[in-house]
Amino acid sequence: MIRGADIVVRSLIAENAEYIFGYPGGAIMPVYDALYDYADQVKHVLTRHEQGAIHAAQGYARVSGKVGVALATSGPGATNLITGLADALIDSTPLVCITGQVAAHLLGTDAFQETDMMGLSMPGTKWNIQVRSVEEIAPAIAKGFHIARSGRPGPVLIDITKNAQVEFGEFNYVPCLGIRSYRPYVTVELPKIQEAALLINEAERPFVLFGQGVVIGKAEEELKAFLDKTGIPAASTLLGSGSLPESHPSYVGKLGMHGNYSPNMLTNKCDVLIAVGMRFDDRVTGDLKRYAKQAKVIHLELDPAEINKNVKCTVPILGDCKQSLSMLIDAVKPNSHPEWMQRFREFENEEREAVMGKDLYATQGGLHMGEVIRLINQYKEDDAVLVTDVGQHQMIAWRYFDYKKTRTQVTSGGLGTMGFALPAALGAQLHNYNRQVICVVGDGGIQMTIQEFGTIMQTKAPVKVVLLNNNYLGMVRQWQQMFFDKRYSFTELENPDFIKIAEAYRIKAVKVTEREELSEAVAQMFIHDGPFFLEVVVEKEDNVFPMIATGCSVEEVRLS
């Protein structure tokens, strides 16, 4: 007979949890007391804020492919997880978050730090449960891990009352292998594959759009083999980046609001659109009423809720994309589309002349964000992980980072959470201390979770943090410039001395203000053994192009 708190920890160990990211408090204190005895079996990382804990768990999960684990107390500790839960749900990140709760007999009495976490977390979780007795703990955790990792992954919240943590019970952990009425996978239908193959074989201008479903489904090799056989141009979503090397001959760029010119311009010119593991987000489609109306749409998707949700498809292929792509490879004919591919290359050249020269190779004026990413590419390793916050720096880093390996893109895609990057980079780095993790942030977002410098200091995680500082909330300012007559309403920032802050956390820090200083500073960052903070002061009113304005069609993408 052991305490419920020990059952919590032993259950996590049984699920091979490597790291727990958390912050202690009264209602979760028995679990923290139990952790003291298992320090050699599971590592706990004390973040400086509960939001930092859940974002770190997200970063760990996205890079490792495992379930991230976060731990918090009741009341404000638990509510500080809500943003991360919502972020993980929309970006399909597997998490198990365990929160403490007041004792069962106090529920509903407005006891100290009591919060209805079931009601608050329900819209932001794949599944949630409140555990009120010791016997429920192990089954709930087993079920939570199964739900979090299976099918389309997502976050789970397990709220455990304090009495359940201190009661004694038997520990008999049984992994969950299935749940009645929960069917996360379906068998791919062969007739749908045959129907799709017929359309693909007859297409003159086919186009593949691939997203994070390729990464989640571990279908990178199948995607590559499908493109090798068919010769179809292919473009990635934000979260799909890295699942196909950008050097692949079929790769034509990135989709969406700040993606590349050619895939946006030619989406409305293809005759067959093949979507693989992506959900037709509004940032990809622009105005849905004018999106790919000329094309027959084939949608390879695991989640039935995404089929026909935004874009009506001609052939829905429901199932794991690793299986459906394998079947498609066998069904399609070898092909190539040189003339159609050439049209992409022509638009690519137009974008290179109009945008990329200034972004990457400016010689006069202030530094541009793209110059920093270009130099990072020169020093990074092939499997280096890029972690970004949200804003202009995110889009610039995404556009110019040279993705060569899968699971190298970590960002807040669907929710767009400022403050995500610093703790997420910590979690990504802890998965593998020897892998390069490059955290690119803006001066707005970093100040939302800047306290996680303390966690980096304590763990000695060798994260390379690059701050692109324009003294503005840059993306909002760009919209104010373009659509609100330059009425810069509350977007200019009076910033602190970031170098002193980093140094106060005993992190090596360098500030660059001139172009001739940049290359040496980037080289120094990568050579340095340990965490490093590089602040680069960039143009205050630099904009990110191409751009599709809200309400516009994808072919109304602007180069300036």
Tell me how crowded residue 467 is: count the other CB atoms within 10 A of its CB: 26
Catalytic annotation, pick one of 66, 113, 309, 404: 113
Query: For residue 109, what is the DSSP state?
Result: T
Can 122 be counted among the known catalytic residues?
no
112 is annotated as an active-site residue: yes
Q: State the Cα–Cα distance between residues 545 and 560, nearest whole angstrom.
A: 6
Three-state SS sequence of 45-105: EECCCHHHHHHHHHHHHHHHCCCEEEEECCCHHHHCCHHHHHHHHHCCCCEEEEEEECCHH
Catalytic (active site) residue 114: no
Give 92's contacts (C-beta < 8 A, 6+ positions apart).
Answer: 152, 153, 154, 212, 216
Choosing from 475, 525, 532, 547, the catalytic residue is 475
Report the chain's terminal Cα–Cα distance, integer Å: 69
Find tokens 């200083």 and name the residue: 517
Could you tell me how far CA 258 lies from the centroid of its own chain?
17
Tokens found for residue 85: 């839960």
- What 3-state DSSP class applies to 409? strand
* Total Cβ atoms within 10 A of residue 473: 21
Of the residues 15, 21, 50, 380, only one is catalytic, namely 50
Q: Out of 162, 224, 322, 464, pick the active-site residue.
A: 162
* SS3 assignment, position 528: coil
Q: Which residues partner with 127 through β-bridges? A: 156
Rounded to whole angstroms, the Cα distance separating 288 from 509 reads 46
Query: Could you tell me which residues are beta bridge partners of residue 45?
Result: 21
In the residue annotation, 475 being an active-site residue is answered as yes
Question: What is the number of other CB atoms lying within 10 angstroms of the CB of residue 503?
Answer: 13
Burial of 364 (0-12, 13-18, 19+ CB in 10 A): exposed
Partners of 385 in beta bridges = 437
Query: Position 518: which residue type?
Result: L
450's tokens: 């800047």
Candidate list 112, 168, 483, 484, residue with the active-site label: 112
SS3 418: coil
Active site residue 50: yes
CA separation (Å) from 18 to 3, 64, 89?
A: 22, 11, 22
Backbone angles phi, psi at 465, to 5 degrees: -100, 120
Q: Give the pair of three-digit tokens for residue 463.
A: 């994260």
| Residues 213, 386: Cα–Cα separation, whole Å | 19
Residues annotated as part of the active site: 50, 112-113, 162, 475
